[in-house]
Structure 1
Amino acid sequence: MIVVRYAVCDPGRAAERSRLIEEHKAYLRGAAIRIMLSGPSAPPAEGRASTAVVIAEVETLAEFEAFSAGDPFVGSGVYTRVDLFEWRPTFGILRESFRPAF
């Protein structure tokens, strides 16, 4: 199953984000799940929060929920909102890199 995490950063937690960035990156690199893509958005427009996306391949959504909960950014409140959902890509040049799951 392909899953996505869409997270919105809390601008008021920028210092906490800076303090935890290397720990966050190490957590992603050492993940037991198969992360396909991950990264932040481009610098946001004035007055808008930055966002980050993780696209991964897992067996169950619960596995992805547990992974996300262990992320230092999630645990410390760097993100004000975290949405997790199954995604079913059907078209695109990256589609072939996913295991045939559907």
Structure 2
Amino acid sequence: MIVARYALSDPGKAAERSRLLEEHKAYLHGAAIRILLSGPSAPPAEGKGSTALVIAEVETLAEFEAFSAGDPFVRSGVYGSVDIFEWRPSFGLLRKNL
């Protein structure tokens, strides 16, 4: 199954985000799940949180939820909100590689 995590950073946690950035990246790179795409949005407007997206292939939604819960950004509250959902891509150039 393909899953996606859409996360919005808490603008009040910018210093914490900077402090944990390398740990967060290492966590993603060392993932036991198959991450298809991951990355942040363009820099946000002043006072707004940045967004980030992770798209992965996993056996179950629970597997991805457990992975997400271990992310340093999630554990520390850098993300003000995190939405995780099954995604069913049906069209596009990348679709044939899934």
Q: TM-score, normalised by structure 2?
A: 0.97
1:48 Cα deviation after fit:
2.7
| SS of 2:85 mapped into structure 1 | strand
Could you tell me which residue of structure 1 aligns to residue 31 of structure 2?
31
CA–CA distance in structure 2, aligned partners of residues 90 and 15 of structure 1? 39
Structure 2 partner of 1:77: 77
Query: Which residue does the alignment assign to 2:13?
Result: 13
The two structures have a TM-score, normalised by structure 1, of: 0.93
Runs of 5+ unmatched residues, structure 1? none
Give the fraction of aligned pairs with identical amino acids, expressed as a percent: 81
Tell me how many residue pairs correspond in the alignment.
Answer: 98
Q: Which runs of 5+ in 2 are unaligned?
A: none
Runs of 4+ in 1 over 4 A off after TM superposition: none
RMSD across aligned positions (CA): 0.8
Mapped to 1, the partners of 2:73 and 2:48 lie a distance apart of 19
What corresponds to 1:91 in structure 2?
91
